[in-house]
Amino acid sequence: MRLVVALGGNAIKQAHEKGTTLEQFLNCKRTARLLAKVVQRMSPNDRLVITHGNGPQVGNLAVQQDMAKEVVPPQDLDVLGAMTQGQIGYMLQQMLDNQLRDLGLKVPVVAIINRVQVSRDDPEFQDENASKPVGNFLTEEEVRELKKKYPNYIYKKVKPGEGRVWRRVVPSPDPIANVEAEVIKRMVDAGIIVIASGGGGIPVVLDPDGHHRGVEAVIDKDLAGEKLAEVINADTFLILTDVEKVKLNFGKPDEKPIDRMTVSEAKRYLKEGHFLPGSMGPKVKACIRFIEWGGKRAIISSLDKVLEALEGKTGTEVVPD
Protein backbone atom coordinates (compact mmCIF):
# COMPACT_ATOMS: atom_id res chain seq x y z
CA MET A 1 0.00 0.00 0.00
CA ARG A 2 1.11 3.51 -0.82
CA LEU A 3 -0.90 5.81 1.41
CA VAL A 4 -1.24 9.60 1.48
CA VAL A 5 -2.91 11.00 4.61
CA ALA A 6 -4.16 14.58 4.49
CA LEU A 7 -4.60 15.99 7.99
CA GLY A 8 -7.21 18.64 8.71
CA GLY A 9 -6.72 21.63 10.97
CA ASN A 10 -8.13 19.79 14.00
CA ALA A 11 -5.04 17.57 13.95
CA ILE A 12 -2.96 20.57 15.00
CA LYS A 13 -5.30 23.14 16.54
CA GLN A 14 -8.85 22.77 17.85
CA ALA A 15 -11.36 25.50 16.98
CA HIS A 16 -11.83 26.55 20.62
CA GLU A 17 -8.09 26.78 21.36
CA LYS A 18 -5.87 29.86 21.28
CA GLY A 19 -3.13 28.06 19.40
CA THR A 20 -0.31 28.11 21.96
CA THR A 21 2.81 26.08 21.33
CA LEU A 22 1.80 23.61 24.05
CA GLU A 23 -1.73 23.17 22.65
CA GLN A 24 -0.42 22.49 19.16
CA PHE A 25 2.23 20.05 20.36
CA LEU A 26 -0.37 18.13 22.36
CA ASN A 27 -2.66 17.93 19.33
CA CYS A 28 0.24 16.77 17.17
CA LYS A 29 1.09 14.15 19.78
CA ARG A 30 -2.44 12.74 19.68
CA THR A 31 -2.35 12.76 15.90
CA ALA A 32 1.07 11.11 15.82
CA ARG A 33 -0.11 8.39 18.19
CA LEU A 34 -2.86 7.44 15.73
CA LEU A 35 -0.54 7.60 12.72
CA ALA A 36 2.04 5.46 14.52
CA LYS A 37 -0.61 2.75 14.90
CA VAL A 38 -1.14 2.92 11.14
CA VAL A 39 2.60 2.49 10.57
CA GLN A 40 2.66 -0.39 13.06
CA ARG A 41 0.21 -2.28 10.84
CA MET A 42 2.07 -1.60 7.61
CA SER A 43 4.36 -4.07 5.91
CA PRO A 44 8.01 -3.26 5.10
CA ASN A 45 7.01 -2.56 1.50
CA ASP A 46 4.19 -0.16 2.38
CA ARG A 47 4.76 3.59 2.20
CA LEU A 48 3.24 6.57 4.03
CA VAL A 49 3.22 10.26 3.08
CA ILE A 50 1.58 12.91 5.25
CA THR A 51 0.32 16.34 4.32
CA HIS A 52 -1.45 18.90 6.46
CA GLY A 53 -3.32 22.19 6.46
CA ASN A 54 -2.11 25.49 7.91
CA GLY A 55 -5.21 27.71 7.76
CA PRO A 56 -5.39 28.74 11.44
CA GLN A 57 -1.63 29.15 11.74
CA VAL A 58 -1.07 31.22 8.59
CA GLY A 59 -4.12 33.36 9.35
CA ASN A 60 -2.95 34.12 12.86
CA LEU A 61 0.60 34.77 11.68
CA ALA A 62 -0.77 37.25 9.13
CA VAL A 63 -2.55 39.12 11.92
CA GLN A 64 0.65 39.18 14.00
CA GLN A 65 2.55 40.55 11.00
CA ASP A 66 0.00 43.26 10.40
CA MET A 67 -0.14 44.32 14.07
CA ALA A 68 3.65 44.61 14.26
CA LYS A 69 4.19 46.26 10.86
CA GLU A 70 5.26 49.55 12.45
CA VAL A 71 8.11 47.73 14.21
CA VAL A 72 8.97 44.77 11.93
CA PRO A 73 8.33 44.64 8.17
CA PRO A 74 5.49 42.18 7.36
CA GLN A 75 6.26 39.20 5.13
CA ASP A 76 4.29 38.15 2.05
CA LEU A 77 1.71 35.37 2.25
CA ASP A 78 3.88 32.79 0.46
CA VAL A 79 6.62 33.40 3.03
CA LEU A 80 4.08 32.99 5.85
CA GLY A 81 3.13 29.70 4.22
CA ALA A 82 6.76 28.61 4.32
CA MET A 83 7.03 29.65 7.97
CA THR A 84 3.98 27.66 9.04
CA GLN A 85 4.97 24.73 6.84
CA GLY A 86 8.23 24.55 8.76
CA GLN A 87 6.49 25.01 12.11
CA ILE A 88 3.84 22.31 11.65
CA GLY A 89 6.22 19.98 9.83
CA TYR A 90 8.62 20.17 12.78
CA MET A 91 5.85 19.48 15.31
CA LEU A 92 4.45 16.49 13.42
CA GLN A 93 7.90 15.13 12.60
CA GLN A 94 9.05 15.25 16.20
CA MET A 95 5.87 13.79 17.67
CA LEU A 96 5.63 10.99 15.10
CA ASP A 97 9.30 10.11 15.51
CA ASN A 98 8.81 9.90 19.29
CA GLN A 99 5.69 7.74 18.97
CA LEU A 100 7.42 5.35 16.56
CA ARG A 101 10.38 5.08 18.93
CA ASP A 102 8.01 4.20 21.78
CA LEU A 103 6.64 1.36 19.63
CA GLY A 104 10.12 0.14 18.82
CA LEU A 105 9.78 1.09 15.15
CA LYS A 106 12.88 2.43 13.41
CA VAL A 107 11.31 4.31 10.54
CA PRO A 108 12.85 7.64 9.49
CA VAL A 109 10.53 10.66 9.34
CA VAL A 110 11.29 13.92 7.56
CA ALA A 111 9.39 17.13 6.83
CA ILE A 112 10.45 19.12 3.77
CA ILE A 113 9.89 22.69 2.63
CA ASN A 114 7.81 22.08 -0.47
CA ARG A 115 6.64 24.36 -3.30
CA VAL A 116 3.57 23.81 -5.48
CA GLN A 117 3.15 25.50 -8.85
CA VAL A 118 -0.04 27.43 -9.66
CA SER A 119 -1.17 29.73 -12.48
CA ARG A 120 -1.16 33.52 -12.12
CA ASP A 121 -4.28 33.53 -14.32
CA ASP A 122 -6.26 31.38 -11.88
CA PRO A 123 -9.77 32.86 -11.25
CA GLU A 124 -9.10 32.81 -7.49
CA PHE A 125 -6.90 35.89 -7.90
CA GLN A 126 -9.77 37.89 -9.41
CA ASP A 127 -12.03 40.23 -7.40
CA GLU A 128 -13.95 38.49 -4.59
CA ASN A 129 -13.33 34.94 -5.84
CA ALA A 130 -10.92 34.10 -3.00
CA SER A 131 -12.20 31.00 -1.19
CA LYS A 132 -9.54 29.56 1.15
CA PRO A 133 -10.36 30.09 4.86
CA VAL A 134 -7.45 31.11 7.08
CA GLY A 135 -7.25 32.12 10.72
CA ASN A 136 -9.80 31.56 13.46
CA PHE A 137 -13.57 31.12 13.16
CA LEU A 138 -15.38 34.40 13.79
CA THR A 139 -18.84 35.75 14.56
CA GLU A 140 -20.54 38.18 12.19
CA GLU A 141 -20.03 40.94 14.73
CA GLU A 142 -16.30 40.21 14.94
CA VAL A 143 -16.11 40.30 11.14
CA ARG A 144 -17.68 43.77 11.07
CA GLU A 145 -15.11 45.05 13.56
CA LEU A 146 -12.19 43.46 11.70
CA LYS A 147 -13.35 44.94 8.40
CA LYS A 148 -12.91 48.40 9.95
CA LYS A 149 -9.28 47.58 10.77
CA TYR A 150 -8.50 45.52 7.66
CA PRO A 151 -10.74 46.82 4.85
CA ASN A 152 -8.86 44.86 2.18
CA TYR A 153 -9.45 41.51 3.84
CA ILE A 154 -12.24 39.27 2.50
CA TYR A 155 -14.46 37.41 4.96
CA LYS A 156 -16.99 34.69 4.10
CA LYS A 157 -19.40 32.39 5.89
CA VAL A 158 -17.84 28.92 5.68
CA LYS A 159 -20.31 26.88 7.74
CA PRO A 160 -24.12 26.77 7.94
CA GLY A 161 -25.84 28.15 11.02
CA GLU A 162 -25.00 31.06 13.29
CA GLY A 163 -22.17 31.99 15.67
CA ARG A 164 -18.53 31.36 14.75
CA VAL A 165 -19.13 30.39 11.14
CA TRP A 166 -17.12 33.17 9.42
CA ARG A 167 -13.45 33.22 8.45
CA ARG A 168 -11.07 35.35 6.45
CA VAL A 169 -10.52 33.95 2.95
CA VAL A 170 -7.56 34.35 0.59
CA PRO A 171 -6.93 33.21 -3.01
CA SER A 172 -6.68 29.44 -3.35
CA PRO A 173 -5.44 28.68 -6.88
CA ASP A 174 -5.62 25.18 -8.29
CA PRO A 175 -2.37 23.21 -7.87
CA ILE A 176 -0.66 22.35 -11.15
CA ALA A 177 2.46 20.45 -10.11
CA ASN A 178 4.59 19.65 -7.07
CA VAL A 179 7.97 21.31 -7.66
CA GLU A 180 9.91 18.89 -5.42
CA ALA A 181 8.17 15.82 -6.89
CA GLU A 182 11.35 13.91 -7.74
CA VAL A 183 12.92 14.52 -4.33
CA ILE A 184 9.79 13.33 -2.53
CA LYS A 185 9.48 10.22 -4.69
CA ARG A 186 13.09 9.21 -4.06
CA MET A 187 12.69 9.53 -0.29
CA VAL A 188 9.41 7.60 -0.27
CA ASP A 189 10.91 4.83 -2.42
CA ALA A 190 13.73 4.61 0.15
CA GLY A 191 11.22 3.90 2.94
CA ILE A 192 11.16 7.33 4.56
CA ILE A 193 7.89 8.72 5.96
CA VAL A 194 7.68 12.11 4.28
CA ILE A 195 5.70 15.11 5.49
CA ALA A 196 5.27 17.26 2.39
CA SER A 197 3.10 19.86 0.66
CA GLY A 198 2.21 21.29 4.07
CA GLY A 199 -0.51 23.92 3.93
CA GLY A 200 -1.04 22.96 0.30
CA GLY A 201 2.56 23.77 -0.50
CA ILE A 202 4.22 27.18 -0.92
CA PRO A 203 2.42 28.72 -3.93
CA VAL A 204 4.74 29.64 -6.80
CA VAL A 205 4.28 30.57 -10.44
CA LEU A 206 6.66 29.95 -13.31
CA ASP A 207 7.88 33.17 -14.92
CA PRO A 208 8.64 33.44 -18.67
CA ASP A 209 12.34 33.14 -17.86
CA GLY A 210 11.72 29.74 -16.26
CA HIS A 211 12.17 30.94 -12.67
CA HIS A 212 9.73 30.21 -9.83
CA ARG A 213 8.27 33.15 -7.91
CA GLY A 214 6.05 33.12 -4.84
CA VAL A 215 2.51 34.53 -4.98
CA GLU A 216 0.00 35.78 -2.39
CA ALA A 217 -2.17 32.70 -1.87
CA VAL A 218 -2.81 29.57 0.19
CA ILE A 219 -3.40 26.39 -1.81
CA ASP A 220 -6.03 23.96 -0.58
CA LYS A 221 -4.17 21.13 1.14
CA ASP A 222 -6.53 18.39 -0.08
CA LEU A 223 -6.25 19.34 -3.75
CA ALA A 224 -2.47 19.65 -3.37
CA GLY A 225 -2.49 16.37 -1.46
CA GLU A 226 -4.08 14.68 -4.46
CA LYS A 227 -1.23 15.94 -6.66
CA LEU A 228 1.18 14.58 -4.04
CA ALA A 229 -0.58 11.21 -4.23
CA GLU A 230 0.04 11.15 -7.97
CA VAL A 231 3.73 11.92 -7.40
CA ILE A 232 4.30 8.81 -5.25
CA ASN A 233 1.90 6.62 -7.25
CA ALA A 234 -0.38 6.16 -4.24
CA ASP A 235 -3.24 3.67 -4.29
CA THR A 236 -4.99 5.06 -1.20
CA PHE A 237 -5.81 8.70 -0.41
CA LEU A 238 -7.23 9.34 3.07
CA ILE A 239 -8.53 12.78 4.05
CA LEU A 240 -8.98 13.21 7.81
CA THR A 241 -11.20 15.99 9.11
CA ASP A 242 -13.59 16.66 12.02
CA VAL A 243 -16.55 14.58 10.78
CA GLU A 244 -16.79 10.81 10.48
CA LYS A 245 -18.70 10.84 7.20
CA VAL A 246 -19.58 13.28 4.44
CA LYS A 247 -23.20 14.41 4.65
CA LEU A 248 -25.89 15.55 2.28
CA ASN A 249 -27.79 18.65 3.42
CA PHE A 250 -25.13 19.27 6.08
CA GLY A 251 -26.38 21.34 8.99
CA LYS A 252 -30.03 20.93 8.01
CA PRO A 253 -32.76 18.85 9.71
CA ASP A 254 -32.67 16.30 6.87
CA GLU A 255 -28.88 15.84 6.75
CA LYS A 256 -27.84 12.33 5.75
CA PRO A 257 -24.44 10.59 6.05
CA ILE A 258 -22.94 9.02 2.95
CA ASP A 259 -21.14 5.67 3.18
CA ARG A 260 -20.14 5.49 -0.47
CA MET A 261 -20.62 7.56 -3.59
CA THR A 262 -19.52 7.09 -7.17
CA VAL A 263 -17.57 9.76 -9.00
CA SER A 264 -20.70 10.71 -10.95
CA GLU A 265 -22.76 10.99 -7.75
CA ALA A 266 -20.05 13.07 -6.07
CA LYS A 267 -19.95 15.45 -9.04
CA ARG A 268 -23.75 15.78 -8.96
CA TYR A 269 -23.80 16.49 -5.22
CA LEU A 270 -21.08 19.12 -5.71
CA LYS A 271 -23.09 20.79 -8.45
CA GLU A 272 -26.21 20.76 -6.25
CA GLY A 273 -24.31 22.66 -3.55
CA HIS A 274 -24.21 20.01 -0.82
CA PHE A 275 -20.51 20.63 -0.10
CA LEU A 276 -19.35 24.14 0.83
CA PRO A 277 -16.43 25.57 -1.22
CA GLY A 278 -14.31 26.42 1.84
CA SER A 279 -15.03 23.18 3.69
CA MET A 280 -16.09 19.80 2.30
CA GLY A 281 -16.13 20.86 -1.35
CA PRO A 282 -12.35 20.68 -1.99
CA LYS A 283 -12.15 17.36 -0.13
CA VAL A 284 -14.74 15.73 -2.36
CA LYS A 285 -13.18 17.30 -5.44
CA ALA A 286 -9.75 15.95 -4.45
CA CYS A 287 -11.19 12.44 -4.05
CA ILE A 288 -12.84 12.66 -7.46
CA ARG A 289 -9.56 13.69 -9.08
CA PHE A 290 -7.66 10.90 -7.34
CA ILE A 291 -10.04 8.19 -8.56
CA GLU A 292 -10.15 9.63 -12.08
CA TRP A 293 -6.33 9.71 -12.11
CA GLY A 294 -6.25 5.98 -11.31
CA GLY A 295 -6.21 5.71 -7.53
CA LYS A 296 -7.90 2.72 -5.93
CA ARG A 297 -9.34 4.16 -2.71
CA ALA A 298 -10.33 7.70 -1.70
CA ILE A 299 -11.75 8.07 1.80
CA ILE A 300 -12.96 10.97 3.93
CA SER A 301 -13.35 10.41 7.67
CA SER A 302 -12.45 11.79 11.10
CA LEU A 303 -8.98 11.73 12.62
CA ASP A 304 -10.00 9.53 15.56
CA LYS A 305 -11.40 6.93 13.13
CA VAL A 306 -8.29 6.61 10.98
CA LEU A 307 -7.80 2.88 11.58
CA GLU A 308 -11.47 2.04 11.09
CA ALA A 309 -11.58 4.12 7.90
CA LEU A 310 -8.61 2.28 6.42
CA GLU A 311 -10.29 -1.02 7.31
CA GLY A 312 -13.45 0.05 5.48
CA LYS A 313 -15.55 0.14 8.66
CA THR A 314 -16.46 3.84 8.53
CA GLY A 315 -15.95 7.03 6.58
CA THR A 316 -17.17 8.02 3.12
CA GLU A 317 -15.51 6.30 0.20
CA VAL A 318 -15.50 7.70 -3.36
CA VAL A 319 -15.45 4.91 -5.94
CA PRO A 320 -15.33 4.71 -9.76
CA ASP A 321 -18.62 4.62 -11.69
CB 3 within 8 A of CB 9: no
Across 125-143, b (16+ Cβ under 10 Å) vs e yields: beeeebbbbbbbbbeeeeb
DSSP one-letter string for 115-150: EEE--TT-GGGSTT---EEEEEEE-HHHHHHHHHH-
Please state, in angstroms and as integers, the Cα–Cα distance from residue 150 to each residue in 45, 63, 79, following that order.
51, 10, 20
- Per 3-state DSSP, the chain is made up of helix, strand and coil in percentages (nearest 5) of 40, 20, 40
Q: Out of 227, 245, 283, 285, which one is annotated catalytic?
A: 283
Q: Out of 8, 10, 13, 27, which one is annotated catalytic?
A: 10
Active-site annotation holds for 136: no
280/125 Cα distance (integer angstroms): 21
Active-site annotation holds for 132: yes
254/317 Cα distance (integer angstroms): 21
- Identity at 298, one-letter amino acid code: A
Q: Out of 8, 55, 114, 132, which one is annotated catalytic?
A: 132
300/239 Cα distance (integer angstroms): 5
Q: Out of 13, 156, 221, 285, which one is annotated catalytic?
A: 221
134/62 Cα distance (integer angstroms): 9
150 phi/psi in degrees, rounded to 5:
-130, 75
Active-site annotation holds for 283: yes
| Number of neighbouring beta carbons within 10 Å of residue 187 | 20
Beta-bridge mates of residue 7: 52, 240
| Number of neighbouring beta carbons within 10 Å of residue 321 | 9
Active-site annotation holds for 60: no
DSSP one-letter string for 34-97: HHHHHHHTS-TT-EEEEEE--HHHHHHHHHHHHHTTTTSPPPPHHHHHHHHHHHHHHHHHHHHH
Active-site annotation holds for 98: no
Task: Give me the active site residues, please.
Answer: 9-10, 132, 221, 283
